[in-house]
Each structure stands twice: as C-alpha cells, then as structure tokens.
C-alpha cells in the first residue's frame, strides 16, 4: 500500500536572522550592462525574461555600461540626482532625531532607497502625478520642494497645510504632482491607474506614476491596479519597490520566494522590468523608457526596483529583533549614493571635496529649514492649527451635525 | 411633492428610466462626467439603467469594467484626483464590500486629509433592498455601514421623480455620495402586499417626471403623507409599506421620506415629531446597529419632552436575508400597522414588535 506523507505547511523564512548573516543569493542578480534595451513598443511577451533578471548600468567600478547607459546624459542631471539623494538622507537623519526629541510623533526613513524616487521623478514632466507610498519623500526633495513645507507637516504646526490632520510623513502636494498619502496600503496603486485613465479619457498628455512596496503587493488593490492598467492600457508606471522587508516580514512572505514581483506584471499582460534600484543611472534610464512608453500611448509598464530597506521600518521599529544588524553592509547592490558618487568622480563630474562641501551645505540648509519650521511650532510646543478646523473639510459645506458638535466642543 | 414647481415637459418614467435620464442629462452638461461599472457599457446595465448611454456618449464616457468593486471605486477616486466626476455602479449593494477600503479610507477622507487639496466628487450607485426573492446577496440594505462613515453622503430615492432629481443633485455635489436605489421600486411602487398585482409607475402620480434638468436638493426630507397621529421616519420601499399600513390601521400617520439618509434633514423630522408626539422608525435593514438606532437617538435627544410614547423601531430581523422566508422577513404592512396601533396605545411597557406570542423562556 502506498504511504502518503503527512502534508506540511510551508512558511517562508529569511536566510538571515539576528546573529546569522543573510544569504543574498536569492536575489537573481545580473551583471551590469547585460540586459538589452527593448524598443518602446515592445510586447510584454518579448521581454518576459527581463522580469526574472536585473537591469543594471553601473558596474562595480562605477562605470556606466550596456545598452541602458546613455552616453549623452547630462552630467548636471546626475549631479542634481546625487544632491537630491544626499539631501534626502540628511533630511531623514535630522527628522529621525527630531522624533527622538519628541518634536515629531513619528517618522519613516528612506535610507538606502534614495535613488528610486529621485531617478524617476527627474524622468517625469511637470503635470504628471505620482501616487506615492510613505517612503517616497525623495519625489518631493528631488523637485526642490521647500523643506519647511514638508517639515511643518511633520511638526503638525500651524503652518501645516494639512492642518494637523495627518500622521507625519503623509504629505500631500498637488502642485508637485504628489498625491495625498494614505495610511491604507496599496489603495493609491489603483487610484494612479484611474488618474491615468482620466488623462487618457480627456486626451491629455500627462501620465501617472504609481508606487507600492513589496509587502503591499499582497493587497488586493495591487492586482486590481494591474488588471485595470492592462485592460485600459492606462498611461501609468507601476513601481514596486522591493526593499526585501515589510516591517519584520521578509519579502518571501509577500510572495517573492522563488519568483519576482516583476513577474506579476507579465502574468497581467504588462511589460515588466526588474531593475537595480540602487543604480541611479538604471533608475533614470528605465523610468524614462517607461514614461515615454506611457506618453506614446503604448501602455503601462511595471518595474520592480530591487533595493534594500537599510533603516528601521519606522521610528516605532527595531530591526535588530528580526534581521542581522550588518545586513545592509552585505547587500550586494550597495549604497545608491556611494555608487553614483563613484561614477561621477570617474567621469570627472564630481570629487570627494565637492561631495564633502555639498554635504555640508545641504546639512546647513536642512538645519536652517528645521529651525524655521520649528519657529511655527512643533508637537511638543502644541502650536497647532485651531481646534475648530478639526470639523472642516469633512464635507465641502459643514452639515448641521458637525456645526453642533463644534459648538459642543466650545470652539 | 408640495414644493414641486412647473418644470417644463413631463413624461411617464419608471425609476430606471428616470435614473437613466439623470445620467444622460449630466453626461451632456458636464464633459468631466464618466460612467462605468460592471455591464454598464454596451449592455446598458443588468437593470437597464444605463441603456443607450454608451451608444450616445461614446466608450470614453460610458464603459464596462472588470468585476472588481475595489478597482471600480479606486479608479474613480484616482479620476477625481485628476478632476473628473465619475458616476460608478456597484451591481448590487450586497457586493460593495470589496470596495470598502476605497470608500471608507479613501473617497470619504480625501478632502479632509488633504485639507481640500484633493476631493472625491464621485457618486456610487448601488441597487439595494429586498422583496424580490433575492436571497442573501441580492437583497441587503447596507446603509448603516455608510452612515457611520464621516465624509460620505448617503441618499435613497423612493420614486422616479426623486430618483432623477436626487441623482442629479448627488452627481453635482462635491462630496462622495452613496446613491442607494431600491430595486424593488425600479418598475413600480411596492407596498408589501406581494400577493397583489404590482402597479407600474405609469399609474402612479410620482411616475411623471420632467424630461429636462432639475434637482431635488440633498438634506431635504419630504412629507410623503401628512398626518397628525404619529410620525413615521422611513425611506425607500418602506415609504409605501407605511402608507398602506396607515390606511389599513386607521392611524393618521405622517410619513416622512428622508431621501437623504445622512446628513439628513433634521428640521423636518423634529417639526413632525414635536407635532405628533409619537414616532415610528421603519427600515428594511437589520435592526441592531441599523440606521433606526441613530434616528431613535436623535428623536429622543431633541423631542424628549414632546414624546407621548416610546419610539418604535420596525426593521428587518437580525438575520441574513433569507430566500424562502422573504415575507416573514420583509417588514409587512400588517407588522407596521400593529406597531402603529401599539404606539397609539401609549404603552410604555416593553414592546416586542410583530411577535404575537408572550415572551417566555423555552423549556
């Protein structure tokens, strides 16, 4: 008689835990310059293999190689990208300290992921709309948004344009093509597709850029967004940032084990690429390609950006409880700032001295902005918007029951 | 409608035709209006509410969607962020649940969380209500789930005239509106006498509808039947059930059709209860946690010293909507009439509505 073994539930585990080094061989890497650059009107069919490989431009020595390297790229654009990345990192560090000083209730760093939003937003045009998650502050910083405006939101002070209604980091800046961040994961991914559909309905030329993390791809709205983007050939770039971690959950728990997130796009009939997210040149080149595709009515593109969440998930998180403390140092794709810096030095468009000077200058800029923002109040000083504004904007016009409740509060 | 003014040419319309007319007119008036949902495009909707609209206005304006309620509402919110004014359909109110996150967390909160930088002026149409042998998932009345959400407007018409005027007002309103359509009333009024032939809208005064543009303002209730004995707060199909119950019970009930469920017309409600001193609240939805609880609380808070009897609630039982036992579930004219008489008896003892047996523990 045939013996049937008892079934066993498979629960994915990361190879590295505190005290044990991560084995990053699961990453499906490819050497820089190896992957082709398909024509803009490619079919998802013809590039299926690329969803399981990795587009990289910068090699280990910081040289730009292969078909995605643009020899005509303006070094000033790269310098701008590097400055934005450095600024983001400084901003994050300062705001994390401000949280520890209780001037802010909460903060989320984007350490190690600075290249992705920066590279993409510099490939978009004014009027395009990004639908970010909470770790895309670089979309704003790369556009030189006044840091004071961002910080006032973090401080919930009386200059906070969101009137203290939103948790820190949940920015909304329409004029910079930055859609309101919601705490509810993945919701914005399908909204981005709807925005892109609207642009197409109106015969506009603007495109949408959607953002989601590896963990949130498990939410229903991720698949919904892919289906709608495919069905209506919406002009949207569907960005998946695979930073390997969703709080404490390894990307294998999100469904990344033995496959890729780019592969999800292939199954939905969407041209899908997998890209080194710490390679600014690759980020910019692929973003530009996807944006041109969308703008040329050639449909959506899904991009999995392979990166690493170098910092804690948030100021409420302690990663040393679930992953090795030296993980980032061992991550094969390195640090996006170091890699772009090295490339720029190689081509003679940057130097260690300039790097140091820039860092100093940006530090001073961030500190000055913080000083100004704090002068409008912080959570600690309680200098917030008037309490009566709490009842506003629930509806366009305040209904009787809210007027009554406002009176009951005595404001 | 006492306040109804001369509004040009009138035509007989069912509720379906009235809703279609509203959407047709608004597609013509507002280039930013788009209509989509499951089967609403080429086919014209499983209830025919969007019939002919795609052929007339084009596939860019009226189109079919994948079967994904979250996708339908989520895409609509994104379109709102762009500046469009989507009118989307969820095929049955029973199927809105997959869109809950987009409705509650996104559409309802967008204006608030952005201090008005982004808004969601969308209308979500949902056929609702029972009385059609729809069983569990084609009969539900989920209005209380929306009323609990700050930032939403919830509306339910009870006749073709209101259906068109309220839908146009809802579409024009810059807040997100949940527009619930009692499908039992699509083709004619229904008073709960399921054993009698159905009267079509063509034989009812409210089945005459202006062919052009007009609105029925939101947050305005209508006194459907003036009366002096007690006030009935209701909406949808129950308007007609309470009307026939008033006739059959001999109770001179003042029937208020709320039309806008939330935010609602508090003044009309309070004026009526203060006049009659008695209040019956009636809806198809399940009792516990239902909208009737909120109405009861409001009347109690504002009319306590005018009340001559406890407020009575008649609702669907606290069960899922059954198939075979439809008419034992659906609040019947007899049940409503009993409640009317009970309230007129001024009893302050515990009321067990519609239950003829004395209350006792079994066994």
A161 contact B CB<8A: yes
pLDDT number for residue B361: 52
**What is the band of B8 on the pLDDT scale with cuts at 50, 70, 90?**
confident
**What is the band of B58 on the pLDDT scale with cuts at 50, 70, 90?**
very high
pLDDT at B3 > cutoff 70: no
CB contact under 8 A, A193 and B219: no
How many domains are contained in chain B? 2
CB contact under 8 A, A227 and B263: no
Classified as helix, coil or strand, A52 is: helix
A170, A190, A198 ranked by CB distance to B82: nearest: A198
A129, A180, A192 ranked by CB distance to B113: nearest: A180
**What is the band of B297 on the pLDDT scale with cuts at 50, 70, 90?**
very high
Q: Are residues B240 and B123 in the same domain?
A: no
Q: Are residues B243 and B96 in the same domain?
A: no
Q: Which of B183, B210, B237 is the last residue of a domain?
A: B210
Give the gap in angstroms from C-alpha A391 to the nearest C-alpha of chain B.
9
Contacts of A395 in chain B (CB under 8 A): 111, 151, 153, 175, 263
pLDDT number for residue B6: 57
Report d(CA B65, CA B60) in Å as an integer. Answer: 12
pLDDT number for residue A380: 87
pLDDT at B93 > cutoff 70: yes
pLDDT at B347 > cutoff 60: no
pLDDT in tens, A133-155: 999 999 999 999 999 999 999 99
- Is residue B333 a contact partner of residue B296, using CB atoms and an 8 Å limit? no
B61, B113, B153 ranked by CB distance to A166: nearest: B113
Chain A from 115 to 154: CB within 8 A of any B CB: 129, 131
Domain membership flag for residue B312: yes
Domain membership flag for residue B206: yes
Helices (H) and strands (E) in chain A, counts: 12, 7
pLDDT number for residue A2: 81
Instruction: Give the tokens for residue A279.
Output: 């390679």
pLDDT in tens, A21-37: 999 999 999 999 999 99
pLDDT in tens, B30-45: 999 999 999 999 999 9
**What is the band of B1 on the pLDDT scale with cuts at 50, 70, 90?**
very low
Report d(CA B104, CA A183) in Å as an integer. Answer: 12
Q: Which residue has the higher pLDDT, B360 or B196?
A: B196
Contacts of A173 in chain B (CB under 8 A): 117
CA A167 and chain centroid, separation: 18
CB contact under 8 A, B78 and A220: no
ipTM summary value = 0.97
Task: For B267, name the nearest residue in chain A, comparing CA atoms only.
Answer: A400
Mean pLDDT (chain B, rounded): 94
**Is the torsion defined by CA of A60, A65, A68, A70 positive or negative?**
positive
Domain membership flag for residue B1: no
pLDDT in tens, A229-281: 999 999 999 999 999 999 999 999 999 999 999 999 999 999 999 999 999 99
- Structural domain boundaries enclosing B234: 222-347
Domain membership flag for residue B361: no
B263 cis-preceded (ω within 30 degrees of 0): yes
pLDDT number for residue A54: 98
CB contact under 8 A, A198 and B78: yes
CATH 3.40.50.970 range(s) for chain A read 32-314+329-380
Domain membership flag for residue B358: no
Q: Are residues B172 and B39 in the same domain?
A: yes
B32, B70, B112 ranked by CB distance to A190: nearest: B70
Instruction: Give the tokens for residue B333.
Output: 């004219």
Q: What is the CATH number of the domain that holds B333?
A: 3.40.50.920
- Is residue A44 a contact partner of residue A265, using CB atoms and an 8 Å limit? yes
pLDDT number for residue B348: 45
Exposure of A91 in the CB half-sphere (CA atoms within 13 A): 30
**What is the band of B352 on the pLDDT scale with cuts at 50, 70, 90?**
very low
pLDDT in tens, A33-69: 999 999 999 999 999 999 999 999 999 999 999 999 9
Burial class (CB in 10 A: 0-12, 13-18, 19+), B346: exposed
pLDDT in tens, A68-84: 999 999 999 999 999 99
Neighbours of B97 (CB within 10 A): 15
A233 contact B CB<8A: no
A227 contact B CB<8A: yes
Contact residues of B toward A, CB < 8 A: 32, 34, 60-61, 65-66, 68, 70-71, 74-79, 81-84, 98, 101-102, 105-106, 109-119, 150-151, 153, 173-175, 219, 263, 266
**Is the torsion defined by CA of A354, A357, A363, A366 positive or negative?**
negative
Residue the block writes with tokens 């730009």: A64
Please report, rounded to a whole number, the percentage of residues in chain B having pLDDT higher than 70.
93
Task: For A180, name the nearest residue in chain B, comparing CA atoms only.
Answer: B114
Domain membership flag for residue B186: yes
Q: Which of B190, B210, B230 is the last residue of a domain?
A: B210
- Is residue A299 a contact partner of residue A270, using CB atoms and an 8 Å limit? yes
What's the average model confidence in pLDDT over B130-154?
A: 97
pLDDT at B5 > cutoff 90: no
As a three-state string, the secondary structure of chain B is CCCCCCCCCEEECCHHHHHHHHHHHHHHHCCCEEEEECCCCCCCCCCCCCCCHHHHHCCCCEEECCCCHHHHHHHHHHHHHHCCEEEEECCCHHHCHHHHHHHHHHHCCHHHHCCCCCCCCCEEEEEECCCCCCCCCCCCCCHHHHHCCCCCEEECCCCHHHHHHHHHHHHHCCCCEEEEEEHHHCCCCCCCCCCCCCCCHHHCHHHEEECCCCCCCCCCCEEEECCCCEEEEECCCHHHHHHHHHHHHCCCEEEEECCEEECCCHHHHHHHHHHHCCEEEEEEEECCCCHHHHHHHHHHHHHHHHCCCCCEEEEECCCCCCCCCHHHHCCCHHHHHHHHHHHHCCCCCCCCCCCCCCCCCCC
Please report, rounded to a whole number, the percentage of residues in chain A having pLDDT higher than 90.
98
Report d(CA B7, CA B25) in Å as an integer. Answer: 15
- Is residue B156 a contact partner of residue B261, using CB atoms and an 8 Å limit? yes
A161, A184, A221 ranked by CB distance to B115: nearest: A161
Question: Which CATH superfamily is A32-314+329-380 part of?
Answer: Thiamin diphosphate (ThDP)-binding fold, Pyr/PP domains (3.40.50.970)
Q: Are residues B126 and B258 in the same domain?
A: no
Residue B252, φ and ψ in degrees, nearest 5: -85, 75
pLDDT in tens, B178-187: 999 999 999 9
pLDDT at B360 > cutoff 80: no
A394 contact B CB<8A: yes
Q: Are residues B205 and B247 in the same domain?
A: no
Catalytic residue ranges of B = 138
pLDDT in tens, B190-226: 999 999 998 999 999 999 999 999 999 999 999 999 9
A231 contact B CB<8A: yes
Nearest to A314 by CA among A16, A110, A140: A110
Q: Are residues B227 and B336 in the same domain?
A: yes
Residue B146, φ and ψ in degrees, nearest 5: -85, -35
What's the average model confidence in pLDDT over A321-340?
A: 98
pLDDT at B152 > cutoff 60: yes
Instruction: Give the tokens for residue A268.
Output: 């939905």
- Is residue B344 a contact partner of residue B276, using CB atoms and an 8 Å limit? no
Query: CA separation (Å) from B230 to A386, B273, B309?
Result: 44, 7, 10
pLDDT in tens, A376-385: 999 889 899 9
pLDDT at B171 > cutoff 60: yes
CB contact under 8 A, B101 and A187: yes
């Amino acid at each position: 008689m045939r013996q049937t073994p008892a079934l066993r539930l498979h629960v994915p585990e990361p190879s590295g835990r505190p005290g044990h080094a991560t084995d990053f061989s699961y990453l499906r890497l490819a050497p820089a310059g190896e992957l082709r650059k398909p024509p803009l009107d490619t079919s998802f069919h013809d590039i299926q293999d690329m969803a399981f490989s990795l587009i990289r431009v910068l090699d280990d020595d910081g040289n730009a190689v292969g078909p995605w390297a643009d020899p005509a790229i303006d070094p000033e654009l790269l310098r701008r990208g590097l400055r934005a990345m450095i600024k983001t990192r400084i901003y994050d560090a300062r705001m994390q300290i401000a949280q520890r000083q209780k001037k802010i209730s909460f903060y989320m760093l984007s350490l190690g992921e600075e290249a992705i939003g920066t590279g993409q937003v510099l490939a978009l045009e004014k009027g395009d709309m990004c639908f970010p998650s909470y770790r895309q502050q670089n979309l704003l910083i790369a556009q030189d948004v006044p840091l004071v405006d961002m910080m006032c939101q973090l401080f919930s002070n009386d200059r906070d344009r969101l009137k203290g209604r939103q948790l820190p980091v949940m920015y909304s800046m329409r004029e910079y093509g930055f859609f309101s961040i919601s705490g509810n994961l993945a919701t914005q991914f399908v909204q981005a597709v709807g925005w892109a559909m609207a642009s197409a309905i109106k015969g506009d030329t603007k495109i949408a850029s959607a953002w989601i993390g590896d963990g949130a791809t498990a939410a229903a709205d991720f698949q919904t967004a892919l289906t709608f983007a495919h069905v209506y050939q919406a002009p949207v770039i569907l960005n998946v940032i695979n930073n390997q971690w969703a709080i404490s959950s390894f990307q294998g728990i999100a469904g990344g084990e033995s496959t890729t997130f780019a592969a999800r796009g292939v199954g939905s009939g969407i041209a899908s690429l997998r890209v080194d997210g710490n390679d600014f040149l690759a980020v910019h080149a692929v973003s530009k390609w996807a944006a041109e595709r969308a703008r040329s009515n050639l449909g959506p593109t899904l991009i999995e950006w392979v990166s690493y969440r170098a910092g804690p998930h948030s100021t409420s998180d302690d990663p040393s409880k679930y992953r090795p403390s030296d993980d980032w140092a061992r991550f094969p794709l390195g640090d996006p700032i170091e890699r772009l810096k090295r490339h720029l030095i190689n081509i003679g468009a940057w130097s260690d001295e300039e790097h140091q000077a820039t860092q100093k200058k940006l530090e001073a800029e961030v500190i000055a902005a913080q000083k100004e923002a704090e002068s409008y109040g912080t959570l600690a000083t309680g200098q917030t918007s008037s309490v009566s504004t709490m009842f506003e904007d629930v509806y366009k016009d305040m209904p009787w029951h809210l007027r009554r409740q406002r009176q009951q509060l005595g404001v | 409608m006492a306040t109804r003014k001369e509004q040009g040419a009138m035509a007989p319309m069912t509720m379906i035709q009235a809703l279609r007319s509203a959407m047709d007119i608004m597609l013509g008036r507002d280039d930013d209006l788009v209509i989509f949902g499951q089967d609403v495009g080429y086919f014209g909707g499983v209830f025919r509410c969007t019939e002919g609209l795609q052929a007339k206005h084009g596939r860019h304006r009226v189109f079919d969607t994948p079967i994904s309620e979250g996708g339908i509402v989520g895409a609509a919110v994104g379109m709102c962020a762009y500046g469009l004014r989507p009118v989307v359909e969820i095929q049955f109110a029973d199927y809105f649940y997959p869109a809950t996150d987009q409705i509650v967390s996104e559409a309802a909160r967008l204006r608030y969380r952005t201090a008005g930088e982004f808004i969601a002026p969308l209308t979500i149409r949902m056929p609702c209500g029972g009385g059609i042998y729809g069983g569990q998932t084609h009969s539900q009345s989920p209005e209380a789930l929306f009323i609990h959400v700050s930032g939403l407007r919830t509306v339910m018409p009870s006749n073709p005239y209101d259906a068109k005027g309220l839908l146009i007002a809802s579409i024009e309103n810059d807040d997100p509106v949940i527009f619930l359509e009692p499908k039992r009333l699509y083709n004619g009024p229904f008073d709960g006498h399921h054993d009698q032939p159905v009267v079509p809208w063509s034989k009812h005064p409210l089945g005459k509808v202006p062919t052009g543009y007009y609105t029925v303002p939101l947050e305005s209730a209508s006194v459907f039947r003036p009366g002096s004995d007690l006030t009935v707060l209701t909406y949808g199909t129950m308007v007609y059930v309470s009307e026939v119950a008033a006739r059959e019970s001999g109770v001179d009930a003042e029937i208020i059709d709320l039309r806008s469920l939330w935010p609602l017309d508090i003044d009309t409600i309070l004026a009526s209860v203060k006049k009659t001193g008695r209040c019956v609240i009636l809806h198809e939805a399940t009792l516990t946690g239902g909208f009737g609880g909120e109405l009861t609380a409001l009347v109690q808070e504002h009319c306590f010293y005018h009340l001559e009897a406890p407020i009575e609630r008649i609702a669907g039982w606290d069960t899922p909507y059954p198939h075979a036992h439809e008419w034992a579930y659906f609040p019947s004219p007899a049940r409503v009439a009993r409640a009317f008489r009970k309230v007129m008896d001024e009893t302050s003892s515990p009321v067990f509505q519609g239950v003829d047996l004395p209350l006792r523990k079994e066994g």
